[in-house]
Amino acid sequence: MTRGAPGAPVSSPAPAPGGHRPWGRRLPAGLVLGLFAAAAASAQPLRVRLVNGTTGGPGSADLLTLYRLGEGMEPVATVENPGAEAVVERPPGPGRPFLLQATYGGVNYNQPVPPGSGADFTLTVYETFSTWAEPDIGLLTWRVLYRRLPRSEGDALRVDQIFIVENRSAPPRTFLDPDGSLRFRLPPEGVRLDLPQVSSTGETGMPVPQSSFPVGSEGDFAIATAFKPGETEIVLSYHVAYGRARHEVALRAPRASPEALLLAAPADITMTLPGDATPGWEILAPDEAAGLIAARKFDLAADEPVMMRLAGGSVPPPASGAGGGGRGLPPVASGEGTEGMGESRVGRLPDPTLASKWAIALLMGAALGFGLLHRAFAGPTPQPRERKD
């Protein structure tokens, strides 16, 4: 703009030919430099350093893969059998996120590569072990939530089982059993209305779909998930019939666990222990604010039967905007989740993030409401063994 004498009107320069003002065709110098810098960074190859988290020394991998993330995961570069250091070519282009993945001993280890990031990355891999034994690995808690569905979705309960597995091996290693890292008992067909959908949440904090497969006797399934050092959260979801508003819970503890918690919603569902139930279960008073009723038990043995009778409960109203047949996911995504029914192996959740975050939020809220957070009532957490150099 042009300033004249004090008090004179302020005028703007005349439009340039074509009707555009001069500054309309220019970008600030800082923005231009930033765009050039981001473009240059995105075209740089990645210098990858591999570390063996078990030995503390240099690592290696069977395969190093760079994925471009978008609608899916598109592999854009691979390096076979890299040593402790490798260079991975990053394709040029607009700022899109990548995922760097090292495969070692049958386990994938991931490192996000955000747009505009630098060129140096470190990936830590671990040796594996396949024998489940305390104190190296254990189940911290097991929680099961039964939720009555609206009448429009059938006489059914949605079931979400959550297992928190802690790998406290020292030196740190990854637990992997290809025959089944975690096994679980499901209701028989006819009672169970669909195949289980499974997701795991570990180092990245994002639910990842897992494949489940039948093992042993009818109703037994397993997953071959790798449990890396630290905590891994497994969410198992399916539906059971609730004809005449009755359901007999008949589960088995997959591993020894310091606690188990059964929850049902709404809070006016009746919980009753059958006569042959194992002793030690306590049915708690309903939490009307949370809309849940719960039963708990401490110190479950591996393969211990878990039995409970569920009856009644108010029928919730249909979710606004929900489509028909929405038993697979929470109401915001109803109509999905029945994908893969009738197959012997389930590969992917339509959107595992919705199912997992919904179930976890409800269970954590219930734990707070009932005062049932694991570390608040299950005694001291087992300490990892001292690492021997």
- Containing structural domain, residue 67: 29-125
**pTM of the predicted model as reported, rounded to 2 decimal places:** 0.71
Burial 259-281 (b: 16+ CB within 10 A, else e): bbbbbbbbbebebeeeeebeeeb
Examine the domain organization and report whether 213 and 325 are in the same domain. yes
Residue 46 lies in a domain: yes
Residue 2 lies in a domain: no
CATH of the domain at 96: 2.60.40.1120
366: region left, alpha or beta (phi > 0 left; psi from -120 to 50 alpha): alpha
Examine the domain organization and report whether 86 and 141 are in the same domain. no
Identify which of 237, 238, 296, 292 has the alpha carbon closest to the alpha carbon of residue 265: 292
Averaged pLDDT for residues 53-69? 96
Per-residue model confidence (pLDDT) at position 6: 46
Give ∠ CA 348-352-356 in degrees, rounded to 5.
140
Integer Cα distance of 367 and 353 in angstroms: 21
Whether 102 has a pLDDT exceeding 90, the answer reads yes
Residue 237 lies in a domain: yes
Examine the domain organization and report whether 117 and 266 are in the same domain. no
Please name the residue ranges forming H helices in the chain.
29-43, 352-370, 374-377
Coil, strand or helix at 244: helix
Per-residue model confidence (pLDDT) at position 202: 85
DSSP assigned state of 315 = P
Examine the domain organization and report whether 73 and 193 are in the same domain. no
Per-residue model confidence (pLDDT) at position 26: 53
Which of 74, 92, 125 terminates a domain? The answer is 125
For residue 107, what is the enclosing H or E element? strand 107-113
Residue 20 lies in a domain: no
Token reading at 290: 């949370």
Lowest mean pLDDT among 91-105, 114-128, 322-336: 322-336
Burial 16-47 (b: 16+ CB within 10 A, else e): eeeeeeeeeeeeeeeeeeeeeeeeeebeeebe
Per-residue model confidence (pLDDT) at position 190: 87
Residue 50 lies in a domain: yes
Contact 310/249 with Cβ under 8 angstroms?
yes
Contact 67/73 with Cβ under 8 angstroms?
yes
Per-residue model confidence (pLDDT) at position 14: 52
Model confidence at 189, pLDDT cuts 50, 70, 90, reads confident
Model confidence at 117, pLDDT cuts 50, 70, 90, reads confident
Examine the domain organization and report whether 204 and 64 are in the same domain. no
Model confidence at 8, pLDDT cuts 50, 70, 90, reads very low
Beta-carbon contacts of residue 256 (< 8 Å; ≥ 6 apart): 134, 138, 139, 300, 301, 302
- Identify the residue with better confidence: 333 or 65: 65
Residue 34 lies in a domain: yes
Sign of torsion over alpha carbons 171, 164, 141, 381: positive
Strand order in the sheet with 63-69: 73-80, 63-69, 98-104, 107-113
Per-residue model confidence (pLDDT) at position 16: 47
Examine the domain organization and report whether 261 and 293 are in the same domain. yes
Model confidence at 314, pLDDT cuts 50, 70, 90, reads very high
Coil, strand or helix at 358: helix
Contact 309/265 with Cβ under 8 angstroms?
no
Which of 92, 125, 158 terminates a domain? The answer is 125
Per-residue model confidence (pLDDT) at position 321: 46
Whether 104 has a pLDDT exceeding 60, the answer reads yes
pLDDT digits (tens, 9 = 90+) for 133-184: 989 999 999 999 999 999 888 899 999 999 999 999 999 999 999 899 999 9
Counting residues of the chain whose pLDDT is more than 70, the rounded percentage is 70
Residue 141 lies in a domain: yes
Averaged pLDDT for residues 13-21? 48
Q: What is the mean pLDDT of the chain?
A: 78
DSSP assigned state of 376 = H
Averaged pLDDT for residues 197-225? 86
CATH of the domain at 351: 2.60.40
Residue 385 lies in a domain: no
Model confidence at 216, pLDDT cuts 50, 70, 90, reads confident
Coil, strand or helix at 30: helix
Averaged pLDDT for residues 44-70? 95
Integer Cα distance of 346 and 357 in angstroms: 20
The letter for the amino acid at 328 is G
Integer Cα distance of 72 and 253 in angstroms: 35
Per-residue model confidence (pLDDT) at position 206: 77
Which of 90, 125, 160 terminates a domain? The answer is 125
Whether 55 has a pLDDT exceeding 80, the answer reads yes
pLDDT digits (tens, 9 = 90+) for 265-310: 999 999 999 988 899 999 999 998 899 999 999 999 999 999 999 9
Whether 335 has a pLDDT exceeding 60, the answer reads no
Looking at the 3D structure of the chain, how many domains does it have?
2
Examine the domain organization and report whether 337 and 224 are in the same domain. yes
Whether 113 has a pLDDT exceeding 80, the answer reads yes
Averaged pLDDT for residues 189-212? 87
Integer Cα distance of 67 and 90 in angstroms: 10
Beta-carbon contacts of residue 160 (< 8 Å; ≥ 6 apart): 144, 145, 147, 235, 236, 237, 355, 359, 362, 363
Examine the domain organization and report whether 232 and 179 are in the same domain. yes
Averaged pLDDT for residues 314-321? 78
